Structure 1
Amino acid sequence: MATITLKGNPITTNGELPKKGTDVPNFKLVATDLSSKSLNDYLGHNVVLNIFPSVDTGVCAQSVRTFNEKASGLENTKVLCISKDLPFALARFCGAEGLENVECLSDYRDGNFGKSFGLTIVDGPFEGLHSRCVVVLNKKAEVIYTEQVSEISEEPNYEAALQSLS
């Protein structure tokens, strides 16, 4: 279990992020058009997993905006923004913001993505939501970078995540 904080108060996750150099577990998430997406849909691409509690919070929304801006120049790279928000909320947010360089996916159906990646919050006011993390995968779906943001109200290290792709 990872210990992180929410506005200075300790909270924990159900496990640890996958380690660098390992393969990630397959996943099944829901796209904004309600179709299912799995890891297999992204094989052959570098993948940035921007994971967060809810797009309806300022820091989470900013992470989606920032990765959208920075993703526009990345070759052969997909940025997946993942939360337990309903697909409708994710679609509404991206539509209102004009975000086209990221793909929003939801883990609302069964939460297995968060559980298998060890990032589901198990206590505190955000219990059941995802912690703020970034996981970067190479074209073979091997982990090349992870960040479990220690204070959930802070943004991830965008530059370190993107530099892992070079």
Structure 2
Amino acid sequence: MANITFKNNPVTLKGNEVKVGDSAPDFTVLANDLSPVTLADSKGTVRLISVVPSIDTGVCDAQTRRFNEEASKLGNVQVLTISVDLPFAQKRWCAANGLENVKTLSDHRDLSFGEAYGVAIQELRLLARAVFVVDGNDKVVYVEYVSEATNHPDYEAALEAAKSAQ
């Protein structure tokens, strides 16, 4: 498993670490209207999955905004932001900030995504910061587990992987 810290304190990740070349694990999360969303719902498109601990914090806000800005330039790529924030909070945050190019999804109900991708922080019931790119055939083509949860991901590498996967 990836070694992750949260505010420089080691944390335990639950689930299975995902690697480039793996078949992307399926998951069930909730959309802002509480409807279930799975990986299969977006099959055939490239997915850039941006994972954040909580959308209401500075780095998570910046990460979501950056991928929102880039999403319109990516072509046939869906940008999914997943956190354990409640769907209502995600919807309110997106509306207040005018974000329309990313789809926010909540893993609050059962940590299905967090455990499938090895980003569920056992001690905090949050998700570790990470970025995954999954191609249209559900193969993982890019993985970054950010070693310190309060740091930014490598935006350029993730965006390049999403462009190359098209």
TM-score of the alignment, normalized to the shorter chain, above 0.5: yes
Q: Which amino acid aligns with 2:69?
A: E
Structure 1 equivalent of residue 157 of structure 2: 160
Structure 2 equivalent of residue 76 of structure 1: 76
Are residues 1:140 and 2:140 paired? no
Classify the secondary structure of the residue corresponding to 1:105.
strand
Q: Normalising to structure 1: TM-score of the pair?
A: 0.94
Classify the secondary structure of the residue corresponding to 1:88.
helix
TM superposition outliers: structure 1 runs of 4+ over 4 Å: none
Q: Normalising to structure 2: TM-score of the pair?
A: 0.94
Unaligned runs of 5+ in 1: none
Q: Please state how far the C-alpha of 1:61 moved relative to its aligned partner.
A: 1.1
Classify the secondary structure of the residue corresponding to 2:79.
strand
> Residues 81-111 of structure 1: CA distance to partner in whole angstroms, max 9, x if unpaired?
0001000000001101100110000011111
Distance 1:147 1:83 in 2: 16
Unaligned runs of 5+ in 2: none
User: Do the aligned partners of 1:134 and 1:147 also contact (CA within 8 Å) in 2?
Assistant: yes
Q: Which amino acid aligns with 1:104?
A: T
Distance 1:122 1:108 in 2: 13
Structure 2 equivalent of residue 18 of structure 1: 18
User: Do the aligned partners of 1:15 and 1:117 also contact (CA within 8 Å) in 2?
Assistant: yes
Q: Which amino acid aligns with 1:157?
A: D
User: Do the aligned partners of 1:145 and 1:161 also contact (CA within 8 Å) in 2?
Assistant: yes
Structure 1 equivalent of residue 40 of structure 2: 40
Over the matched positions of the two proteins, sequence identity in percent amounts to: 48
- Of 107-116 and 144-153, deviating more is 107-116
Structure 2 equivalent of residue 118 of structure 1: 118
Distance 2:120 2:6 in 1: 14
Distance 2:119 2:49 in 1: 12
> Residues 19-53 of structure 1: CA distance to partner in whole angstroms, max 9, x if unpaired?
11111111111001111111111111100000111
Distance 2:16 2:149 in 1: 15
